């Protein structure tokens, strides 16, 4: 869905509500408080009032957005839908300033919407298990940009770096999905636990660079080490896929997100994984909305 398609399909608040009601309830609204289906629609004007119901059993009033990412929002749903479309289509992520300009919002509102959409992406992603040829690697984001793939990027404590950078660990299945997350640490044990959780080790081959913390993995699965001091690609022995993902992640971060705190990094990483993992799915907009209505 591009912006034009969203505008045409959802010209107003009513059409957005109608769609959300259909995916949440089908034809019959259900009271989210007590589960009763004996509900009455209230006919009231105004963005916040359209689509409100009263439950005849528990007397509560509710809307289709109750308990969802849209709960309590004063922003027209069409702007939410447009924001979702923009974020899903943004190859290199989107700053809240850009989103604010595109949707005629103030930057704080755009930032808040983006944070909610990202949290939704993080929450609604089922655990992924990768299988096949897997490339694993780690990187740092946040703080000032620096050259990638340098050894000194890896041991922040020893180098006396501040806490402005966040370690991110990731694994990607070639031709498949990526799992990346803020790492608790980058010891051999941390990395082992991560790989065991996200990779089917019995059915996979692992490619990493020569970082020593990966050594222990050789006892768990077939493991190829690419020594970047010597060469980057040896036939199919390389880590170019995960490095490509890092470069997308970092380029967007340094281009547009440098003023955000490190606390925001996990949500940012979750968004980039979500977009990457659904990159070939044309129905991603509809899938995302549907997931957002699962409470």
Contacts of 44 (CB under 8 A, 6+ apart): 50, 52
State residue 133 phi and psi, 5-degree precision.
Answer: -90, 115
In the complex, least distance from residue 28 CB atom to Zn ion, rounded to whole angstroms: 13
Question: Judged by CB, which is closer to Zn ion: 58, or 248?
Answer: 58
- In b/e form, how buried is each residue of 157-170, taking b as 16+ CB within 10 angstroms? eeeeeeeebbbbbb
Question: Judged by CB, which is closer to Zn ion: 62, or 274?
Answer: 62
Question: Judged by CB, which is closer to Zn ion: 33, or 287?
Answer: 33
In the complex, least distance from residue 287 CB atom to Zn ion, rounded to whole angstroms: 29
The reply on whether position 87 binds Zn ion by CB under 5 A is: no
In the complex, least distance from residue 32 CB atom to Zn ion, rounded to whole angstroms: 8
Which SS3 state, helix, strand or coil, does residue 154 take? Answer: coil
Question: Judged by CB, which is closer to Zn ion: 34, or 233?
Answer: 34
Pairwise CA distance, residues 182 & 168, whole Å = 4
The reply on whether position 58 binds Zn ion by CB under 5 A is: yes
Which stretch, 2-10, 48-56, 178-186, 194-202, contacts Zn ion (CB under 5 A)?
48-56
Question: Which of 285, 281, 293 lies closest to 30, judged by CA?
Answer: 293
Which stretch, 9-17, 58-66, 267-275, 281-289, contacts Zn ion (CB under 5 A)?
58-66
Question: Judged by CB, which is closer to Zn ion: 60, or 122?
Answer: 60
Which stretch, 55-63, 77-85, 137-145, 221-229, contacts Zn ion (CB under 5 A)?
55-63
Question: Judged by CB, which is closer to Zn ion: 55, or 183?
Answer: 55
Applying the rule CB under 5 A, the residues between 2 and 41 that interact with Zn ion are 31, 33-34, 36
In the complex, least distance from residue 21 CB atom to Zn ion, rounded to whole angstroms: 16
In the complex, least distance from residue 54 CB atom to Zn ion, rounded to whole angstroms: 9
Q: CA dihedral defined by 101, 102, 108, 112, rounded to 10 degrees?
A: -170
In the complex, least distance from residue 34 CB atom to Zn ion, rounded to whole angstroms: 3
* Per-residue interface string for the shown chain with Zn ion, residues 214-243, x marking contact by CB under 5 A: ------------------------------
Q: CA dihedral defined by 160, 244, 186, 255, rounded to 10 degrees?
A: 40
E runs forming strands in the chain: 39-41, 53-55, 61-62, 133-141, 166-173, 178-182, 205-209, 222-226
Contacts of 23 (CB under 8 A, 6+ apart): 289, 290, 293
Question: Judged by CB, which is closer to Zn ion: 28, or 144?
Answer: 28
Other C-beta atoms within 10 Å of 19: how many? Answer: 18
Binding Zn ion (rule: CB under 5 A), the pick from 16, 20, 55, 69 is 55
Which SS3 state, helix, strand or coil, does residue 220 take? Answer: coil
**Is residue 228 packed enough to be buried (19+ CB in 10 Å), middle (13-18) or exposed (0-12)?**
middle
In the complex, least distance from residue 252 CB atom to Zn ion, rounded to whole angstroms: 44
Q: By rule CB under 5 A, what count of residues binds Zn ion?
A: 7
In the complex, least distance from residue 55 CB atom to Zn ion, rounded to whole angstroms: 3
Site residues for Zn ion per CB under 5 A: 31, 33-34, 36, 55, 57-58
């Amino acid at each position: 869905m591009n912006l034009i398609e969203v505008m045409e399909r959802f010209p107003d608040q009513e059409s957005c509500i109608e769609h959300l009601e259909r995916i949440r309830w089908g034809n019959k609204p259900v009271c989210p408080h007590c589960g009763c289906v004996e509900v009455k629609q209230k006919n009231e004007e105004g963005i916040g009032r359209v689509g409100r119901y009263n439950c005849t059993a528990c007397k509560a009033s509710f809307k289709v957005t109750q308990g969802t990412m849209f709960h309590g929002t004063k922003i027209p749903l069409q702007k939410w839908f447009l924001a979702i479309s923009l974020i899903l289509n943004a190859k290199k992520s989107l700053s809240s300033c850009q989103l604010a300009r595109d949707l005629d919002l103030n930057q704080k509102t755009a930032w808040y919407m983006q944070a909610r959409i990202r949290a939704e992406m993080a929450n609604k992603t089922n655990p992924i298990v990768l299988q096949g040829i897997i490339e694993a690697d780690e990187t740092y984001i946040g703080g000032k940009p620096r050259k990638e793939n340098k050894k000194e990027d890896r041991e922040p404590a020893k180098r006396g770096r501040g806490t402005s950078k966040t370690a991110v660990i990731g694994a990607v299945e070639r031709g498949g999905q990526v799992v990346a997350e803020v790492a608790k640490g980058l010891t051999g044990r941390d990395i082992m636990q991560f790989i065991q959780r996200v990779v089917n080790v019995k059915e996979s081959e692992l490619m990493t660079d020569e970082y020593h913390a990966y050594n222990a993995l050789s006892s768990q699965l077939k493991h190829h080490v690419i020594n970047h001091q010597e060469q980057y690609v040896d036939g199919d022995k390389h880590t170019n896929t995960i490095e490509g993902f890092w470069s997308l992640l970092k380029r967007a971060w340094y281009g547009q997100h440098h003023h955000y705190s490190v606390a925001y990094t996990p949500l940012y990483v979750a968004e980039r994984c979500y977009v990457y993992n659904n990159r070939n799915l044309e129905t991603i907009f509809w899938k995302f909305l549907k997931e957002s209505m699962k409470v």
